[in-house]
Amino acid sequence: MNQIQNLLYDSLIKTQHVEAAALIRIKEGIAFTSPPRFNVPAQIIQTVVDAFKNPSAIRKEGLHVWDRSYQCVRADKNSIYAKCEEGGLVLVKTKSNILLATYREGMYPSVCVEAAEKLGSYFREREI
């Protein structure tokens, strides 16, 4: 694993309330993931990037990724939280990246949100 994957693992996965995580580079359209087998295809990367361009539409319509429909719980210029029956996802935008964290049934969404927002703040402070 590279340094970013290690950071995602140590900051998010180790909480045991984040199933998988990715750091999406907005300009490049690529994702660094943890665990490494977590796949974020180009179409999902684009959907995530586009979600921050129109948060009000996401609040109304939700997100459709990985063949699931996610109902939006929160959407603003910095964060998007969405849930479905099996779990949910948290998106946190920084200067040039979007942090994506997923959780599944049995995990605490609040812990996932707290960990993702904390790492997002760390990235914002360092202008990452």
Total domain count, the chain = 1
Quickly state the pLDDT bin for 1 (edges 50, 70, 90). Answer: low
DSSP string, the chain: --HHHHHHHHHTGGGTS-SEEEEEETTTTEEEEESTT----HHHHHHHHHHTT-HHHHHHH-EEETTEEEEEEEESSSEEEEEETTEEEEEEE-SSEEEEEEEETTS-HHHHHHHHHHHHHHHHHTT-
Check residue 91 and give its pLDDT.
99
Q: Could you list the residue range(s) of the whole structural domain that residue 11 is in?
A: 3-125
Check residue 2 and give its pLDDT.
85
More confident residue, 37 or 1: 37
Q: What is the average pLDDT value for the chain, to the nearest integer?
A: 95
The enclosing domain of 87 has a CATH number of: 3.30.450.30
pLDDT, tens only, 55-108? 999 999 999 999 999 999 999 999 999 999 999 999 999 999 999 999 999 999
